[in-house]
């Protein structure tokens, strides 16, 4: 095993969300804090007003509470399942033309010379 020197490896899984770490602790403690909401909002490039932050913090907490009712089910002996549906659907390696450039760029807010355009992202 390579476990001992994993420091350099690809980022190791810490749980599906960073904030889920907190959810494993006491039921009484709020799992979603305003800081969590602010962090997630920043990652999603959303800017929230103070009021929105308060509302979303409470709502997210309620969603987790609701989802937690599932935790009360006895799942002894049941394999974890992350996906519904049957595996094994694969595609042949045969190319087909996609969309034409003109109609692709027609949906872009800004385009020129065949390219999508965004505000310059490196200085």
Partner 1 sequence: MRDWKAIRARYEPVIGLEVHAQLKTATKIFCACPNRFGDEPNTHVCPVCLGLPGSLPVLSRQAVSLAMRAALATHCTIQTTSIFARKNYFYPDLPKGYQISQYERPLATEGYVEIPANEGFRRIRVQRIHIEEDAGKLLHEGFAWSNDKSGIDFNRTGVPLIEIVTAPDIRTSEEAHEYLAALRATLVYAEVSDGNMEEGSLRCDANVSVRRSGEAALGTRTEIKNLNSIRNVARAIEHEISRQVALIESGGDVVQETRLWNADRGETVSMRSKEEAHDYRYFPEPDLPPLLVDPEWIESARRSLPELPSDRRRRFIEHYGIPAYDAGVLTLSREVADYFEEAARASGNPKAASNWVMTDVLRKLKEDTRPLSACPVSPGRLTEMICLIDDGVISGKIAKDVFEKMWSTGAPAGMIVECEELTQVTDASAIEAVIAEIVGAHADQVAVYRNGKKAALGWFVGQVMRKTQGKANPRLVNELLRKALDG
Nearer to partner 1, 51 or 93 (CB): 93
- Phi, psi values for residue 112, rounded to 5°: -160, 145
- Asked if 63 is part of the footprint of partner 1 (rule: CB under 8 A), the reply reads no
- Asked if 11 is part of the footprint of partner 1 (rule: CB under 8 A), the reply reads yes
Length of the chain: 123
Segment interacting with partner 1, rule: CB under 8 A, options 23-31, 41-49, 56-64, 69-77: 41-49
Segment interacting with partner 1, rule: CB under 8 A, options 8-16, 30-38, 49-57, 70-78: 8-16
Q: What is the DSSP string of 45-58?
A: T----HHHHHHHHH
The two three-digit tokens of residue 15, written as one number: 């749980």
Residue 95 CA: distances (Å) to CA of 29, 89, 91, 101: 53, 17, 11, 17
Which string of x and - marks every residue 74-103 that binds Zn ion (by CB under 5 A)?
A: ------------------------x-----
For residue 112, what are the β-bridge partners? 115
Chain residues binding partner 1 by CB under 8 A are 1-2, 5-11, 13, 16-18, 39, 42-45, 82-83, 85-101, 104-105, 110, 112-122
């Amino acid at each position: 095993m390579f476990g001992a020197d994993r420091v350099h490896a690809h980022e190791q899984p810490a749980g599906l969300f960073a904030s889920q770490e907190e959810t494993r602790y006491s039921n009484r403690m709020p799992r979603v804090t305003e800081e969590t909401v602010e962090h997630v909002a920043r990652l999603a490039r959303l800017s929230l007003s103070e009021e929105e932050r308060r509302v979303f913090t409470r709502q997210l907490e309620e969603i987790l509470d609701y989802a937690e009712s599932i935790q009360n089910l006895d799942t002894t002996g049941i394999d974890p399942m992350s996906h519904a549906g049957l595996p094994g659907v694969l595609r042949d390696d045969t190319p087909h033309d996609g969309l034409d450039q003109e109609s692709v760029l027609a949906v872009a807010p800004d385009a020129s010379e065949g390219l999508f355009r965004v505000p310059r992202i490196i200085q």
